[in-house]
């Protein structure tokens, strides 16, 4: 199954949960961005992957790489999002200029066909 990515803001970082079998997990809730109705999505980081959450704080902007898991228990079906990588984002993403910011202040951006056509230049 292919991996997926999700970008958002950390809302909650759960404590490490250790079970009698020795299995451990840590949950992370990330709020989606750029939507009319933002969603809070929970990811599970299992075993040693739980350590990936140690340097994070609430309100950090992150990109979570995860897999989708599913299972049946007593005739009911459950899904889980299993995180396997997490990166802080923000400095890099915010440093990239936005198209409107590239145009001089107070002016509308140039149409795409004019910007890409170098044959109109007077020199």
* pLDDT tens-digit readout, 76-95: 999 999 999 999 998 544 44
- 36-56, pLDDT tens digit by residue? 999 999 999 999 999 999 999
Integer Cα distance of 33 and 7 in angstroms: 7
What's residue 35's pLDDT?
Answer: 86
Architecture of domain 4-120: Beta Barrel (2.40)
Question: Cα angle at 53 between 51 and 59, to 5 degrees?
Answer: 170
For the chain, the domains span 4-120
Q: How many helices (H) and strands (E) does the chain have?
A: 3, 6
Mean pLDDT of the chain: 82
What b/e string do you get for 93-108 counting C-beta neighbours within 10 Å, with b at 16 or more? Answer: eeeeeeeeeeeeeeee
pLDDT surpasses 60 at 97: no
Asked whether the whole model's pTM tops 0.75, one would answer no
CB atoms within 10 A of CB 121: 6
């Amino acid at each position: 199954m292919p991996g997926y990515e999700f970008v958002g803001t950390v809302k909650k970082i759960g404590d490490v949960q250790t079970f009698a079998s020795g299995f451990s997990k840590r949950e992370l809730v990330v709020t989606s961005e750029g939507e009319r109705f933002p969603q809070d999505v929970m990811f599970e980081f299992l075993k040693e992957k739980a350590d990936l959450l140690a340097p994070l704080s609430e309100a950090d902007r992150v990109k979570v790489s995860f897999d989708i898991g599913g299972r049946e228990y007593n005739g009911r079906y459950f899904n889980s999002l299993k995180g396997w990588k997490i990166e802080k984002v923000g400095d890099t993403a915010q440093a990239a200029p936005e198209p409107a910011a590239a145009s001089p202040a107070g002016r509308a951006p140039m149409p795409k066909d004019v910007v890409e056509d170098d044959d109109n230049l007077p020199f």
